[in-house]
Structure 1
């Protein structure tokens, strides 16, 4: 039973992240004006990080109960990445944007993108391992 729950949680995380990167984010900036897209994305990201933090935490718990150490490490590291992005990098990026500090914003934004990409690769690897 736990192995099925583990696979479902992993699939929801990976599928959600892929959907966001390939479909949702590009469409927001293609279909909405920049004046609408920016505040929308800014309001969306706290929920994105919270959602995936909760699912990563649930995945971590199931992996620990299953005794699956590699999967637990992937879940735990990803969870930390979501929390760092939500609680530290995103507020700093928003402040940089508000203060017209473009290079600082670009660096912080790039940091969240790198973290998110590494998480996606890690979750893909976890799917391959299951």
Structure 2
């Protein structure tokens, strides 16, 4: 039973991350003015990261109850990376965004580097969850 819960929570996590990354975000930027789209994304990111953290922790707990060490490690890492993204990267990105919008070259470079780091973390989380799910199918 706990293995099923772990797999369902992991599948929900993966589905939410894929839907947000490849449907919601592109649709927002394609259909809203740039400033409105950016403001909407800034408002939704804390919730996005919170959902990632909660689902990953739920899945990790279920994997722990099923005594599945790989699942605990992968989902624990996904939760930890979500926490880093929400509590460290996101606030720093916002600090540098203001300078970027003011035309500061240093702020623009820092913003881009942190934004790229957050995108790489998001992709690593997606690949980790997908890899874990595929390991059970194969």
| Band of TM-score, shorter chain | over 0.9
Match of 1:67 in 2: 67
Structure 2: distance between partners of 1:74 and 1:22: 22
User: 1:67 aligns to what SS in structure 2?
Assistant: coil
**Structure 1, residues 94-117: CA drift from partner, whole Å, max 9, x if none?**
100012211110000000000110
User: 2:29 aligns to what SS in structure 1?
Assistant: helix
Deviation at 1:30, TM superposition (A): 0.2
Structure 1: distance between partners of 2:35 and 2:69: 45
Deviation at 1:127, TM superposition (A): 0.4
Match of 1:118 in 2: 124
Query: RMSD of the alignment, in Å?
Result: 0.7
Structure 1: distance between partners of 2:62 and 2:4: 10
Structure 2: distance between partners of 1:11 and 1:77: 16
Structure 2: distance between partners of 1:75 and 1:60: 5
TM-score normalised over the length of structure 1: 0.97
**Over 4 Å off, 4+ runs:** none
TM-score normalised over the length of structure 2: 0.92
User: Across the two proteins, how many residue pairs are aligned to each other?
Assistant: 130
Match of 1:53 in 2: 53
User: 1:12 aligns to what SS in structure 2?
Assistant: helix
Deviation at 1:80, TM superposition (A): 0.6
Structure 1: distance between partners of 2:51 and 2:6: 17
**Structure 1, residues 17-36: CA drift from partner, whole Å, max 9, x if none?**
11111111100100010121
Which 5+ residue runs of structure 1 have no aligned equivalent? Answer: none
Structure 2: distance between partners of 1:21 and 1:35: 19
